[in-house]
């Protein structure tokens, strides 16, 4: 990829590699590139990109440094300041990339915050991995905006979103889909637009089964601990 220059970059973060004229770049590295004329263009409009655009941008940002890895060629600029970074460096630098419409990205100081005013009860764990969450909402620890009781790690919910896709991705606890997906997209979770493959459905069901009983010390589930258990 001429944009991030990281051959080993995770395709789940950067997307597949596309050919742009004589050069190749990850799909999302291109969509998030702040200096490309089509920044924010939908995937379907990719056919109108000039063949040389990606190469020219790669040359133009050759001297721009990534504030995370300190290396050059940082194609993404924070929407609020001049800090730049590479897409594969985003998570390590606690930067947020919003995988929809304008494909905006933010450095760690300007990354979006959840507006709900809730704090995890002591001993609260992530619904997906069952490990402890942080003691406040932060880059790593998020909550479902609907039930405000489903604590999730960013990395864990990102994994779930990738296997569920837009058709299945919902709160692991209250199953709210619309507001939950909107909030997760806003917070930088990538939710692929596709119906889930059968293997994904099974994997998703498996991940759901792990939350069989609410283990919060003070259960605030709308239907109480037992109901959650019955619903599985
Ligand atoms: Zn790339
Ligand atoms: Zn970097
Ligand atoms: Zn910024
Ligand atoms: Zn987790
Ligand atoms: Zn919920
Ligand atoms: Zn509960």
d(Cα 199, Cα 222) in Å, to the nearest integer? Answer: 31
* Residues, Cβ < 5 Å to ion ligand 2: 66, 68-69, 86, 89
Q: Quickly tell me which residue has 């990738």 as its tokens.
A: 162
The number of the ligand nearest the C-alpha atom of 172 reads 5
Q: Is the pLDDT of residue 165 over 50?
A: yes
H or E element in which residue 232 lies: none
Model confidence band, residue 36 (pLDDT cutoffs 50, 70, 90): confident
Environment class of 27 (CB within 10 Å of its CB; exposed 0-12, middle 13-18, buried 19+): middle
Q: Which neighbouring-strand residues pair with 141?
A: 153
Find the 88 Cα to ligand 1 centroid distance in Å: 7
The number of the ligand nearest the C-alpha atom of 173 reads 5
Domain assignments of the chain as residue spans, ordered by start: 11-106, 141-231
Q: Is the pLDDT of residue 213 over 70?
A: no
Tell me the pLDDT tens digit for each residue of 82-104: 999 999 999 999 999 999 988 99
Mean pLDDT of the 33-41 span: 67
Report the pLDDT value the prediction gives residue 205, as an integer from 0 to 100: 63
Q: Is the pLDDT of residue 231 over 50?
A: no
Tell me the pLDDT tens digit for each residue of 172-195: 999 999 999 999 999 999 999 876
d(Cα 195, Cα 1) in Å, to the nearest integer? Answer: 28
What are residue 118's phi and psi, to 5 degrees?
-135, 155
* Residues, Cβ < 5 Å to ion ligand 6: 214, 216, 219, 221
Dihedral angle of Cα 205, 207, 211, 215, to the nearest 10 degrees: -170
Find the 216 Cα to ligand 4 centroid distance in Å: 14
* Contact of 114 with 194, CB cutoff 8 Å: no
Find the 113 Cα to ligand 5 centroid distance in Å: 17
Find the 204 Cα to ligand 2 centroid distance in Å: 32
Environment class of 82 (CB within 10 Å of its CB; exposed 0-12, middle 13-18, buried 19+): exposed
CATH for 11-106, among 3.10.28.10, 2.60.120.260, 3.30.40.10, 3.90.550.10? Answer: 3.30.40.10
> Would you state the structure tokens that stand for residue 43, as one six-digit string?
């995937």
The number of the ligand nearest the C-alpha atom of 145 reads 5
Report the pLDDT value the prediction gives residue 232, as an integer from 0 to 100: 43
**Among the listed ranges 15-24, 31-40, 70-79, 149-158, which one has the minimum average pLDDT value?**
31-40
**Among the listed ranges 31-35, 108-112, 172-176, which one has the minimum average pLDDT value?**
31-35
Find the 82 Cα to ligand 2 centroid distance in Å: 15
């Amino acid at each position: 990829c001429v944009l991030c220059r990281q051959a080993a970059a995770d395709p789940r973060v950067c997307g597949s590699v596309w050919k742009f004229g004589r050069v190749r770049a990850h799909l999302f590295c291109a969509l998030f590139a702040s200096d490309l004329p089509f920044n924010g263009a939908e995937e379907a409009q990719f056919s109108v990109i000039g063949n040389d655009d990606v190469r020219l941008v790669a040359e133009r940002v050759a001297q721009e440094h990534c504030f995370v890895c300190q290396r050059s060629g940082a194609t993404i600029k924070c929407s609020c300041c001049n800090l730049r970074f590479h897409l594969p460096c985003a998570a390590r630098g606690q930067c947020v990339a919003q995988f929809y419409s304008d494909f905006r990205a933010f450095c760690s100081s300007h990354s979006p915050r959840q507006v709900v005013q809730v704090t995890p009860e002591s001993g609260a764990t992530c619904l997906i991995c069952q490990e402890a969450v942080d003691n406040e909402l932060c880059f790593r620890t998020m909550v479902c905006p609907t039930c405000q009781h489903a604590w999730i790690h960013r990395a864990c919910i990102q994994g779930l979103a990738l296997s569920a896709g837009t058709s299945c991705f919902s709160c692991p606890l209250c199953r709210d889909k619309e507001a939950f997906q909107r909030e997760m997209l806003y917070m930088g979770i990538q939710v692929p637009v596709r119906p889930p493959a059968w293997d994904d459905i099974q994997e998703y069901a498996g991940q759901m089964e792990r939350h069989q009983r609410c283990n919060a010390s003070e259960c605030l589930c709308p239907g109480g601990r037992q109901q959650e258990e019955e619903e599985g």
